Amino acid sequence: MGSSYNFDLSKKTHIFHLKVWVLVSIFVGIFVVVVMLLLWRCSKSKKKSSVGLIPNVSREIKEIRIEQKKSAGMEEVEYFNVQEEKEKDCDKLLVHFKNEDSFNSSSNDPNAVSVSSPLAGLPELSHLGWGHWFTLRDLEMATNRFSKENVIGEGGYGIVYSGQLINGTIVAVKRLLNNLGQAEKEFRVEVEAIGHVRHKNLVRLLGYCIEGTHRLLVYEYVNNGNLEQWLHGAMAHHGHLTWEGRMKILLGTAKGLAYLHDAIEPKVVHRDIKASNILIDEDFNAKISDFGLAKLLGAGKTHIVTRVMGTFGYVAPEYASSGFLNEKSDVYSFGVLLLESITGRDPVDDSRPVHEKNLVDWLKMMVAAKQADQVVDPNLETRPSTSALKRALLTALRCVDPNAQQRPTMSQVVRMLESDEYPILREGRTRKKDKR
């Protein structure tokens, strides 16, 4: 039996006249090589897909570019996702964010700040040029595993939790909900819009977390509610805002918007200025928040045409009707916010009579009827002086002018609110001398 077996293996075949044992050896070798290649590819694939401290962000955050078209005399801007390179590494994104931080250093705005103390004492490994790269574990520990007791706000795209970092800093952690990719869009927009920005009237983005499908943003914690809560009752147990307090908050909001529109490049159009997005700190300074709908307007761009987003009652008419968006859309929203602060009324209130439902229309009717003194919020214990009320109303009316070209810039609005004189209601109209 053994000699027969040896004879069979030694027998020549028709394949290049090779012996049987040679062919068997070749096939076994090829099989081993193939198996090793498959094992190597599997291990490489697992390594790429595994979530570590620094995941492959470039596959998860898509680059957005702009293609311009001319249509019916208007410039249409079409946003589309560009296919990313499959093997890009996370370091490129980190360098991009670091470079963005440097552009704010050229700003001459006196309100710009560059304090980084909230991140002091955190691991150097995670520091970026403008903020901090947090792991999901970091934020789970900070928020007690995102417990319900830590929830301080909820919106259409996410939940906001209070938390405490390992260095003791209290923060607000916004956990974005991945609704049809909306979390990805909002995450990228907020990081690009305010990641590199420092201003005392803008809520500061301290850092972020990307792990798998998780998208989280970490902000400074602003501990005194928001303007909506102060105007409409949720903070009533703390009392009502005085006229001076309201004007301080509105002036701070105007300065923050002026910075976004005029002091940085590309300019940022917030697109969702409303009372609930104006946070208030313990010194009653305004902090503009929630940049999830923001748009960037680069040099030479006077406007873009985009899908209408925002909050009913605050949206500028030309934007609502055509999607025509620029910084004057924020000016309109600010005008509504100013009227809301003066009157204590919601921008749209269906519980009121028909002619009073829309705040802007009602206010214009009251001014035309020379009843402006009757629009002041009845919750104010001390009414503003006639001159202060007139100045605020005229500024607001200029901001909500239906003709966007007639609206002032936010820098002009700041000067109007700070001035002792009355703003001109429309450009080119001669102001009558003040009668005092």
Helix (H, G, I), strand (E, B) or coil at 262: helix
Size of the chain, expressed as the number of residues it contains = 436
Please check whether residue 191 is in contact with residue 219, taking contact to mean a CB–CB distance below 8 angstroms. no
Q: Given CA atoms 126, 130, 136, 142 in this order, what sign does their dihedral have?
A: positive
Percentage of residues of the chain with pLDDT beyond 90: 48
Confidence (pTM): 0.70
Q: What is the β-pairing status of strands 132-133 and 205-211?
A: parallel
Contacts of 347 (CB under 8 A, 6+ apart): 274, 312, 313, 314, 336, 339, 340, 358, 359, 360
Percentage of residues of the chain with pLDDT beyond 70: 72
* pLDDT at res. 39: 82
Please check whether residue 204 is in contact with residue 115, taking contact to mean a CB–CB distance below 8 angstroms. no
Question: 270: which 2 tokens?
Answer: 């917030």
For the question of residue 272 being annotated catalytic, the response is: yes
| pLDDT one-digit tens code per residue, 319-359 | 999 999 999 999 999 999 999 999 999 999 999 999 999 99
Alpha carbons 198 and 194: distance in angstroms, whole number: 8
Contacts of 138 (CB under 8 A, 6+ apart): 165, 166, 209
Contacts of 263 (CB under 8 A, 6+ apart): 107, 108, 109, 112
Kindly list the structural domains of the chain, giving each domain's residue range(s) and its CATH number in brackets, ordered by start: 116-220 (3.30.200.20), 227-418 (1.10.510.10)
The Cα-based distances of 90 to 47, 61, 84, 133 in angstroms read 15, 10, 12, 12
| pLDDT one-digit tens code per residue, 173-194 | 999 887 656 677 778 888 888 8
Contacts of 109 (CB under 8 A, 6+ apart): 199, 259, 263
The yes-or-no verdict on residue 75 having pLDDT over 50 is no
User: Annotated catalytic residue: which of 89, 138, 262, 272?
Assistant: 272
Nearest CA among 311, 334, 295 for reference residue 201: 334
The yes-or-no verdict on residue 102 having pLDDT over 70 is no
